Amino acid sequence: MKFILYGVLYSYLFLMGTSGVLAFLRQQIPFYLMCLNVGFALIGICSPLSPCFLWISLIGLLGTACLNGLILNGRIQVIHLASRLLLSVLLLLFYYLNK
């Protein structure tokens, strides 16, 4: 079960990090936002060491998702924020259930 959890978690972190880099390369987001996306994704990779890293990573990625929405669309889309929040809560729930 831990294998599935970390597979989903690392896939999520990889997608968030790469989407930040690709958006920066397409000149859609500024450099600091790309660094935040990649930085919080890298922090999440350390989650097997301590649950603190997972909390920081998921909260940080949720915050950068809001900033991405403001920069790209001029507003935060509620459905996007709700889906990211639900995914973060599910990842945390499964993380603590597998401890």
Q: Are 5 and 95 in contact (CB under 8 A)?
A: yes
Instruction: Give this prediction's pTM.
Output: 0.90
Give the integer Cα–Cα distance in Å for 61 and 65. Answer: 6
Per-residue pLDDT of the chain (99 residues; tens, 9 = 90+): 788 989 999 999 999 999 999 999 999 999 999 999 999 999 999 998 999 999 999 999 999 999 999 999 999 999 999 999 999 999 999 999 987
Give the integer Cα–Cα distance in Å for 28 and 65. Answer: 14
Q: Are 41 and 84 in contact (CB under 8 A)?
A: no
Give the integer Cα–Cα distance in Å for 27 and 39. Answer: 19
Domain boundaries, the chain: 2-97
